[in-house]
Chains A and B, each alone.
Chain A
C-alpha cells in the first residue's frame, strides 16, 4: 500500500473564515484534510477576570466585547441572570424593546454572515450588498442606543431609554427595505450554481450525534433538530409572538445556509409583530446607585439564542457589589472547537474557511 505524504498546514491565525484570530493546524494529504487541531489564545483578554473587579453595572462595558458581530445577546443574558438573582421584575414594554433589539442584532449579524459565507465561496457581491445594507440597521441602533456596534443598552431591570420619537416608523420602513433586499441576496447567492455545489454535502454534522456533541444554533437545526432557546425556554416577549423555527435535513453547509436564510426573514417578522404589539408604560425598573448596589448571594444560569446558537451565562454572586464569577459559554465554544475538529477530516482545504463560516466560529467568545 502506498502511503501518501502527510503535510502540516497552519491555517490562520488570520484568515477569511472567521471574525477574530484563531489558528487551525491541519494535517493534509494532497488537498484533503486528515486531521484538524484548533488553537486559540490569540485574543485572550481575561474578560472574566476583569469582571471580578468591576461592579455589577460596570461589567456591561466588557460584556459587549465578547463577540463583536453580535454583542447584544451577551448584555441580555447577563442582565437576565442578575434579574434572576435579585428577583427583579422587568416592565412588559422593556421585554418587547429587548425582543426588538435582539432580533435587530440577529438580523445585522445574518447580514455579516451573508458576507462571510458567500465571500468564502468567491461570491463577493452578496457581501458588498449585505454589509452596505447592514448600516441601515446600525443607524437604528445608533438612534436608539447611541452606539452602532456596542450598545450597553439592555440593563438589569429593563432598557436604558425608551424608543425615540419616530423610531418605530423608521424601523418598519427599514424592515420593508431589508426584506426586499433579502430576496435579491438569495437570488445571487442561493440560486448560484457555484454556491450550491460548494455548499451541498460539505461539512456534515450527523443528526444522531449533534446534541451529544454539543452542537447548537443553526448547525443543530440544519440537522433537522428543532431546538431554539426562544421556544424551549422563552424569554423577553418571544412567547407572545408567532414565529417559525426553521429546520433542514442534511446537516451540511447548504442546510445551515437555508436555515439562516429563513431565520433572517423570521427576525423581520418578529420585529414587526413586537413593534405593533408593544404596550405603553415603563421601560426600566431602576437599579440602586451602581456604586452601592449589591446583589443577593446565589447563582444563575441563563441562555439566549444568538445567530451562532445558544449563549449561556453562569453568574455567581457572593452578596457583594461585584460578581463573584461570570462564566460565559458562547455558541462557538463547542461549535468551533470539538465539533469543528470532528467535521473537518475528509474535507478539501479550500472548504475549511467555508465550513468555519457556516459553523459561526467566533474566537473572542471561546477565550474570554
Chain B
C-alpha cells in the first residue's frame, strides 16, 4: 500500500482533510466543498492523477444533503482516488470543474438536470437528456414517479377494460394464477 499511503499523506498534509485507504488501489478522501477543486487541481497537476474516471451524486434526503463524488485515476500509479463532499440539498450549488477536465461538463449538465444542482459558469446546452422538463429533477429521492406517470400519461382509449390482461385470459381459459404471480399483479 506504499503508493496509496503516499498520495493519502500528500493530500492530508496539503489540505488537512480526512481520508483512508479502503482497499488496494482505492484512496477515499472527504473534504469541504470549498476545497474540492483545489484538491483536484493538486492531484492532477502535482501528483499525476490526470484522468477523471467518474463524477457521481447520491441524494442523502434524510440529512438534507447531496453527496458528490469525484473519482480520479493515475495512469502511472494505477491508483484511484475517491473524493467526497457534501452540499446542502436546498439551493444546491457546487463549483464547476469543467475548466480542469472538459468531460466534467457532461457530468455536471446531467447532475443539474437530474438532481437540480447548479454549477455556476457551466458552459453548455441547458438540456442533457430531458428536453423541456419543468418538473422536479427526476433523480431526487422525493420525485414521485407514479404520481408523475398518472398525471402525464393517460389510458389508451379502448383499453380501459383490459387493465390486467392475465386476469382476463384466466377468466376465459379457466386457468388458475399461481400465488407467486398474483403477488405482482397491479391490484
A interface residues (Cβ-Cβ under 8 A, vs B): 37, 40-41, 44, 46, 48-49, 52, 84, 211-214, 225, 227, 232-233, 299, 301, 303, 310, 312, 314, 316, 324-325, 327, 329, 333-334, 337-339, 342, 367
Contacts and interface: CB of A to CB of B under 8 A. Distances in A.
A329 B54 contact: yes
A51 to B, nearest CB: 11
17 contacts: A40-B129, A46-B145, A48-B139, A212-B51, A214-B101, A225-B75, A227-B75, A233-B25, A299-B69, A299-B82, A312-B54, A312-B71, A314-B71, A327-B56, A329-B53, A337-B103, A337-B106
Contacts of B53: 301, 303, 310, 312, 329
A310 to B, nearest CB: 8
B128 interface: yes
B101 A212 contact: yes
Contact of A327 (B54, B80, B131): B54
Interface string B85-125: 00000000000000001110110000000000000000001
A316 B71 CA distance: 14
B138 A49 contact: yes
A41 B129 contact: yes
Given A41-B130, A44-B129, A214-B51, A314 B56 contact: yes
B54 A301 contact: yes
Interface of A: prevailing SS: mixed
A338 B56 contact: no
A49 B129 CA distance: 14
A334 B106 contact: yes
Nearest to A339: B103
A37 B106 CA distance: 12
Interface of B: 23, 25-26, 50-54, 56-59, 69, 71, 75, 78, 80, 82, 101-103, 105-106, 125, 127-131, 138-139, 141, 145
Contacts, number: 75
Contacts of A333: 106
Given A327-B54, A329-B53, A338-B106, A211 B75 contact: yes
Contact of B105 (A44, A48, A84, A338): A338
A232 B77 CA distance: 10
A314 B54 CA distance: 9
A338 B128 contact: no
Going nearest first, the 5 A-B pairs with the smallest beta carbon separation are A41-B129, A367-B129, A214-B103, A327-B56, A338-B103
A40 B51 contact: no
A148 B54 CA distance: 31
Contacts of B101: 212, 214
A214 B25 contact: no
B131 A213 contact: no
A211 B50 contact: yes
A301 B26 contact: yes
Nearest to A53: B145
Given A211-B75, A314-B56, 18 more contacts: A41-B128, A41-B131, A44-B129, A48-B139, A84-B23, A212-B101, A213-B103, A301-B26, A301-B71, A312-B54, A325-B59, A327-B54, A329-B53, A333-B106, A334-B106, A338-B103, A338-B106, A367-B129
